[in-house]
A and B are shown apart, each in its own frame.
Chain A
């Protein structure tokens, strides 16, 4: 069965320091993986996605993630945190091969990122 584990429920960094949000997954197939961000009182926005092309994926706002099949990980990183990065981040795995090729999305519980001045 598929699953997604976001290893930290809360991460706190200082402005200008690196960000690392960790995500491990399990999947029986070749999954697609996504990171979404949710700012307070705003909708979910796609940061980046991996769909079996390059293993290092660059997203918006300077974020990137690396797909590591051997470690079943898809950690999100950013070299230098900005105050505006404070938000909730969700890792999502999408498996193919369900009836009629309909996707099944599994969402992590989220990591709350705080950025201190």
Chain B
């Protein structure tokens, strides 16, 4: 089975721009979660989608949004980029959303905001 794929792998933007990141989960997985990883803060949960519905949301401003399509692919969007948004954005997919379920991660998208 193919793993989780994320596109693009690297992105450079300037402050004030907006960006869209894409994630394709493992075939059959209906849950997609997004995380932001920075050296100082570690992994911070953004949101989780299951069957096109947002199930869970972290403590990020409204500039961060996401959606999931009927084929389980997901996108996240960040509007009005700030320097502090520079980070590795990770996507993870899983079969379910219960506490015992394992998440499988993609390689991430490295976003640099100048």
Q: List the interface of chain A (C-beta within 8 A of B).
A: 31-32, 34, 36, 42-46, 49, 51, 90, 94-96, 98, 100-105, 107-110
Q: Is residue B66 contacting chain A, with contact meaning CB distance below 8 A?
A: no
Q: Which residues of A contact B48 (CB under 8 A)?
A: 102
* Bound Cα distance from A72 to B103, whole angstroms: 23
- Asked if residues A44 and B90 are in contact (CB atoms below 8 Å), the reply is yes
Residues of chain B with a CB closer than 8 A to A45's CB: 105
Whether the pair B55, A100 counts as a contact (CB closer than 8 A) is yes
Question: 25 A-B residue contacts at CB 8 Å?
Answer: A32-B100, A34-B102, A36-B105, A43-B4, A43-B90, A44-B90, A44-B92, A45-B105, A46-B102, A46-B104, A51-B100, A96-B99, A101-B98, A102-B48, A102-B97, A102-B98, A103-B98, A103-B101, A104-B56, A105-B45, A107-B43, A107-B45, A108-B42, A109-B42, A110-B42
The 9 closest A-B CB pairs, nearest first, are: A96-B99, A44-B105, A51-B100, A94-B99, A103-B99, A107-B43, A109-B42, A43-B107, A43-B105
- A107 in contact with B105 (CB, 8 Å): no
Given known contacts A42-B107, A43-B107, A98-B56, A107 and B102 CB-to-CB distance under 8 angstroms: no
| Contact-residue bracket for chain B | 20 to 34
